[in-house]
């Protein structure tokens, strides 16, 4: 068990450590808030997208035979022979 004297010494040592740490932190970081820092500001991002359907540059990138996930999928079919049998 810790005696009363040891407990007081631990509390005093802890308080002294907190005070020293606070003084050091204020010395180190005090000058930071007074300095004016210039931060680069990025340009605004445009929300306009090009029409890729008729642009020849995009035809080289996109596969025109790929499925279009934005189109509605019709379930069921009126085709009696779906696999050409």
- Compute the mean pLDDT over every residue in the chain, rounded to the nearest whole number: 80
Specify the pTM: 0.37
> Any idea where the domains of the chain sit in the sequence?
1-28
pLDDT > 70? residue 12? yes
47 vs 12 pLDDT, higher one? 12
What band does 35 get if pLDDT is binned at 50, 70 and 90? low
What band does 11 get if pLDDT is binned at 50, 70 and 90? very high
- Residue 53 to residues 2, 10, 13, 71, 72, Cα–Cα distance (Å): 80, 75, 74, 15, 18
What band does 5 get if pLDDT is binned at 50, 70 and 90? very high
Residue 54 · residue 62 · CB < 8 Å? no
């Amino acid at each position: 068990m810790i005696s009363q004297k040891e407990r007081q010494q631990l509390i005093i040592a802890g308080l002294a450590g907190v005070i020293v740490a606070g003084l050091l932190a204020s010395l180190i970081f005090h000058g930071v808030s007074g300095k004016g820092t210039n931060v680069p500001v990025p340009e605004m991002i445009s929300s306009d997208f090009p029409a890729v359907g008729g642009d020849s540059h995009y035809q080289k990138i996109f596969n025109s035979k790929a499925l279009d996930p934005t189109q509605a999928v019709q379930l069921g079919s009126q085709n009696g022979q779906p696999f050409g049998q």
